[in-house]
Structure 1
Amino acid sequence: MKQNIYDHAEFFRQYKKLRQAPYNFNNLLEQPALKSLLPNLTNLQMLDIGCGMGEFAYYCIENNAQHVTAIDVSKNMLAIAQHEHAHPNIDYYLQAIEDYHAEPNSFDCITSSLSLHYIKDFSAVVGKIASMLRPGSVFVFSVEHPIATARKTLEDNWLYDDSGNRSHYAIDNYHDEGLREQTWLVDGVVKYHRSITTIINTLIEHDLTIEKMLEPLPDSEASQKLPSLEKEYRRPSFLLIRARK
């Protein structure tokens, strides 16, 4: 997550345009799934990793969380968060999770939306998260699905027939974990691929119990709003997990 692509001027211009569209994959698919995994937030102390523009942190306060500590590496993201989603019970910090420190047993719930695939040392970060959670508390997160990050050429992994229709989705190098560099809005976006086995076993190794996993599918209303969501029935974009300490 220390790569700060979100402060790249052209990337951020295009990303902001994407996120501000009325219908997108985040607000129609990933965010509803993430919210469905949350516990009752009333009076919880929360940490939101990779808080972005602050919409989710603000949602948690609106749903009765006591306080949200929200961290992100991007000045651009935090500038919007502090302008559009400021609240007395949200503290925004310019910080990578690798560098963030809190006392053990500090939080009732830790969340991360689509940020952990930027992390190089997943085990170290999960260990830190487990330490910061209070016993019985939950860690809820989403990542790009390992099916989508597996190939080492990540521009467009759909293959098409002679008529230009999607034929199938190509997967390769699934168990060859590690760095992936892709073109997404701009060249040189760095992410880290890891298998579902690695993700699950890393959580277990740090004494986190898997309670639920989601590979979300759009409902009919979402598909009508954004027809490109239909391809989720053929290849998932997101993997979401709730784990309890």
Structure 2
Amino acid sequence: MKQNKYDEPEFFANYSQMARSQQGLEAAGEWYELRTMLPDLKDKDVLDLGCGFGWHCRYARQQQAKSVLGIDLSENMLQRAIQMTDDPKIEYRLQAIEDIDYAPEQFDVVISSLALHYLQRLDEVYAKISTCLKSGGTLVLSVEHPIFTARAEQDWHYGAQGEIQHWPVDHYQQEGRRVARFLDQDVVKYHRTVATHLNELINAGFVIQQVAESKPSSDMVEQVPGMRDELRRPMFLMIAASKV
């Protein structure tokens, strides 16, 4: 059964209070790097996998994308996205990422932000993305970094006074299911090594163009409490790849 935590009332309420949920892309620590990895979106047909509130969909249209399709498994997410969007060139569709089945070479660009680490069979999804991308098309994705997903606890190691000491990494090579605590709820995620993320893309017919490990902008470090600690370990892995 596909996981859909975002339609659970308490979980969705907690998610809606996050800075990135209320303020959008500029409040997302990884955005200032991720946007540099996107290709020119002008006159492009764009697919957003796990579109959430539709922030990336609306950004694509601001960059003059020809059309944007955003899909998500959560009715709550799509309802909010629709409320925040006034653009006939953006379509939102209720669909699990695992179930995509689009025409060959339908899209120029596929974006997926912080959704693919919830999927068990990422290799199958990459193959479907490759099919629906045009030759030379681009996939840009972000996932939780393997350093972050290796331990289900996903937390710092603290000293006796509650001070942050370091970020522990363990069981890194043991890929698979993790039950992590996120927004006061148990959430199933899937840990993969950096090598697996890259090799699954290569096996699906992609050429890796760029790899980045998130770090906040200097402005965020200075202005957002706790953001300086995000320089101590990468929370997100970002990859841009093109279809051969």
TM-score (norm: length of structure 1): 0.94
User: How much does 1:222 deviate?
Assistant: 0.9
CA offsets 1:97-124 (integer angstroms, 9 cap, x no match): 1112111111100000000001110100
Counterparts of 1:136 and 1:9, CA distance in 2: 41
Q: Which secondary structure state, in structure 2, belongs to the residue aligned with residue 35 of structure 1? A: helix
Aligned Cα root-mean-square deviation (Å): 1.8
Q: Are the counterparts in 2 of residues 53 and 85 from structure 1 also a CA contact under 8 Å?
A: no
Match of 2:167 among 166, 169, 183: 169
Counterparts of 1:23 and 1:104, CA distance in 2: 36
**Residue matched to 1:219:** 217
Query: Which letter does structure 1 place at the counterpart of 2:177?
Result: L
Q: Are the counterparts in 2 of residues 152 and 173 from structure 1 also a CA contact under 8 Å?
A: no
> Where does 1:51-62 land on structure 2 (aligned, <5 Å)?
51-62=51-62
Q: Which secondary structure state, in structure 2, belongs to the residue aligned with residue 117 of structure 1? A: helix
User: How much does 1:22 deviate?
Assistant: 6.4
**Residue matched to 2:33:** 33
CA offsets 1:56-101 (integer angstroms, 9 cap, x no match): 1011011100000110000000001111123100110000111121
> Where does 1:65-76 land on structure 2 (aligned, <5 Å)?
65-76=65-76
> Where does 1:175-214 land on structure 2 (aligned, <5 Å)?
175-214=173-212
Q: Which secondary structure state, in structure 2, belongs to the residue aligned with residue 29 of structure 1? A: coil
Counterparts of 2:159 and 2:24, CA distance in 1: 26
1:95 has 2:95 as partner: yes
**Residue matched to 1:118:** 118
Query: Which letter does structure 1 place at the counterpart of 2:241?
Result: A
**Residue matched to 2:236:** 238
Percent identity between the two aligned chains: 41
Gaps of 5+ in 2: none
Counterparts of 2:152 and 2:235, CA distance in 1: 16
Q: Are the counterparts in 2 of residues 23 and 226 from structure 1 also a CA contact under 8 Å?
A: no
**Residue matched to 2:109:** 109
C-alpha distance 186-164 of structure 1, shift in aligned 2 (>3 A): closer
TM-score (norm: length of structure 2): 0.94
C-alpha distance 33-183 of structure 1, shift in aligned 2 (>3 A): same
User: How much does 1:207 deviate?
Assistant: 1.4
Counterparts of 2:210 and 2:56, CA distance in 1: 20
- How many residue pairs match? The answer is 243
Deviates more, 1:44-53 or 1:164-173: 164-173
Q: Which secondary structure state, in structure 2, belongs to the residue aligned with residue 98 of structure 1? A: helix
Counterparts of 1:54 and 1:23, CA distance in 2: 12
**Residue matched to 1:153:** 153
CA offsets 1:136-158 (integer angstroms, 9 cap, x no match): 1100000000100001333x2x1
C-alpha distance 21-242 of structure 1, shift in aligned 2 (>3 A): closer
User: How much does 1:164 deviate?
Assistant: 2.6
**Which consecutive segments of 4 or more residues in structure 1 shift more than 4 A?**
20-26
User: How much does 1:231 deviate?
Assistant: 1.4
**Residue matched to 1:15:** 15
Query: Which letter does structure 2 place at the counterpart of 1:170?
Result: P
Counterparts of 1:26 and 1:9, CA distance in 2: 26
Counterparts of 1:221 and 1:238, CA distance in 2: 19
C-alpha distance 86-73 of structure 1, shift in aligned 2 (>3 A): farther
Query: Which letter does structure 1 place at the counterpart of 2:176?
Result: G
Q: Which secondary structure state, in structure 2, belongs to the residue aligned with residue 15 of structure 1? A: helix
Query: Which letter does structure 2 place at the counterpart of 1:7?
Result: D
Q: Are the counterparts in 2 of residues 25 and 229 from structure 1 also a CA contact under 8 Å?
A: no
User: How much does 1:28 deviate?
Assistant: 3.9
